[in-house]
Amino acid sequence: MTSGQGPVLVLEDVAKRFGPIEVLTGINLTLSRGEKRALIGPNGAGKSTLFNLVSGRFAPSSGVIRLGEKRIDGMPAHQLNRMGLSRSFQITQVFGGMSLYENIYMAVMSRHGKRWSLLRSGRVWRDIAEQTRELIDYAQLTSLADRQASTLAYSEQRALEICMTVATGPDLILLDEPTSGMSRVEAANMVAFIGRMTEGRTLLMVEHDMDVVFGLADTISVLSQGQILATGTPAAIRDDPRVQDAYLGGSAH
């Protein structure tokens, strides 16, 4: 778990190369507690790679990543999750053969450190069941709890994905294009849903939809050609000529 008043996430000079291709060069980024940061940038800017480095899918080629006080670059994903970092996926990854309840139950089990249990006895299992129910109620998915995940509608699966990400009890939540493939109405609902689910937590997200970005983020970082071009409030980013040049292309007036 991260603690104290310092920043939740710090990246210092992080770079990633795949063979001869330099995807990220010298990324510096600091996320303070409770901040909601969006990462935007044109296709191929390295947003997904940056996400994969932070969430432990890959190790960076150089540089330092810190979660709270602890250095985490190169750590496996499951350990990062136990330290309070949880991510969602751009392509929905839910357990299709299980009920929505079981999907979230598994995430809550992990939060309580019950990762090898053969028996379901003792207080903690009552707590796990109770917290699973509470979370489903809070997410307003109660009526879908017993449905098999693969039979849920796409937007419901996306909501489940977010719910599972939150259910492991993270301090820092990473969302990878949470509204990709959704209609405008669905995306607007999703913004409200994410706002409710991530209340009081630190959020870092990659998103293409500018309405979603401006609806959720209080700061924005623009990534272009493997580097951070600018960081600031939505209004400042909107007015930054460099950003308009590189990404918005004058469409945001």
Q: Residue type at 46? A: G
Quick check: 81 binds another protein (CB under 8 A)?
yes
Q: Which residues are bridge partners to 230 per DSSP? A: 222
Q: Which is nearer to another protein, 169 or 232 (CB)?
A: 169
Quick check: 126 binds another protein (CB under 8 A)?
no
Site for another protein in 16-35 (CB under 8 A): 18
Of the candidates 30, 62, 75, 82, which one interacts with another protein according to CB under 8 A?
82
Beta strands in 20-97 (DSSP E): 21-31, 36-40, 62-67, 70-71, 85-87
Beta strands in the chain (DSSP E): 9-18, 21-31, 36-40, 62-67, 70-71, 85-87, 172-176, 202-206, 219-224, 227-232
d(CA 83, CA 219): 24
Q: Which residues are bridge partners to 10 per DSSP? A: 30, 66
Quick check: 106 binds another protein (CB under 8 A)?
yes
Q: Which is nearer to another protein, 50 or 246 (CB)?
A: 50
Count of residues interacting with another protein (CB under 8 A):
34
- With CB under 8 A as the contact rule, which of the stretches 25-33, 55-63, 217-225, 245-253 interacts with another protein? 55-63
CB of 131 vs another protein, minimal distance in Å: 14
Residue 174, exposed/middle/buried by CB under 10 A (0-12, 13-18, 19+)? buried
Beta strands in 177-226 (DSSP E): 202-206, 219-224
Of the candidates 25, 32, 62, 102, which one interacts with another protein according to CB under 8 A?
102
Q: Which residues are bridge partners to 36 per DSSP? A: 203
Nearest to 86 by CA among 63, 61, 106, 102: 106
Quick check: 201 binds another protein (CB under 8 A)?
no
CB of 43 vs another protein, minimal distance in Å: 17
Of the candidates 34, 44, 74, 76, which one interacts with another protein according to CB under 8 A?
76
Quick check: 78 binds another protein (CB under 8 A)?
yes
CB of 102 vs another protein, minimal distance in Å: 6
Quick check: 93 binds another protein (CB under 8 A)?
yes
CB of 89 vs another protein, minimal distance in Å: 7
CB of 18 vs another protein, minimal distance in Å: 5
Q: Is 74 helix (H, G, I), strand (E, B) or coil?
A: coil
Q: Which residues are bridge partners to 18 per DSSP? A: 21
User: Which parts of this chain interact with another protein (CB under 8 A)?
Assistant: 18, 55, 57-58, 76-78, 81-82, 86-87, 89, 93-98, 102, 105-107, 109-111, 114-120, 164, 168
